[in-house]
């Protein structure tokens, strides 16, 4: 595994874990009582933690897609909660501070990392394997 590959994995895992920690903290400290939002925070935190851990130990490329999808969904939900509301829930600005800002920043990093990997793979991102990263998408043809 090359250095860029390792760094990108660490970046993905760190940003996903940071977002997960924020959501888990808010869930434990009050958000669990908000209808629908509590469940959504729990799902976000647990999925992000799982994806972060698996990416760190060398998981396949589609984990990056799942991580990016989770981060994007969280960003969209954040934007909705500051405008029209989500399941009747809305907040203002960067409250609760600093968790809202940290979470949004981490999710933006996740999405940007995914975009960088996807761009280098000409729209077919594969997760960097032991051969090194970045690399173009290529199909393995090993026998079953």
List of residues contacting another protein (CB under 8 A): 20, 24, 27-30, 32-35, 42-43, 45-47, 49-51, 53-54, 59-60, 62-63, 66, 85, 88-92, 95-96, 139-144
Q: Which is nearer to another protein, 66 or 109 (CB)?
A: 66
Q: Which is nearer to another protein, 3 or 53 (CB)?
A: 53
Give the shortest CB-8-to-another protein separation in angstroms.
18
Are the CB atoms for 27 and 38 separated by under 8 Å? yes
Nearest residue to 22 via CA among 102, 135, 138, 120: 102
Distance between CA atoms of residues 117 and 125, nearest Å: 6
- Locate 13 and state its tokens: 């895992």
Q: Which is nearer to another protein, 63 or 109 (CB)?
A: 63
Q: Which is nearer to another protein, 27 or 133 (CB)?
A: 27
Distance between CA atoms of residues 133 and 48, nearest Å: 23
Provide the 10 A C-beta neighbour count for residue 45. Answer: 21
Give the shortest CB-66-to-another protein separation in angstroms.
7
């Amino acid at each position: 595994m090359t250095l860029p590959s390792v760094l990108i994995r660490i970046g993905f895992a760190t940003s996903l874990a940071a977002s997960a920690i924020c959501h888990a903290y808010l869930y434990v400290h009050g958000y669990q009582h908000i209808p629908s939002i509590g469940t959504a925070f729990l799902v976000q935190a647990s999925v992000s933690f799982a994806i972060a851990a698996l990416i760190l130990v060398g998981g396949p490329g589609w984990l990056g897609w799942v991580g990016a999808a989770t981060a994007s969904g969280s960003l969209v939900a954040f934007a909705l909660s500051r405008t029209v509301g989500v399941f009747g829930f809305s907040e203002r600005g960067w409250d609760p501070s600093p968790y809202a800002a940290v979470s949004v920043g981490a999710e933006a990093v996740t999405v940007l990392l995914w975009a960088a990997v996807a761009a280098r793979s000409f729209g077919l991102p594969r997760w960097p394997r032991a051969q090194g990263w970045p690399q173009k998408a290529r199909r393995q043809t090993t026998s079953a």
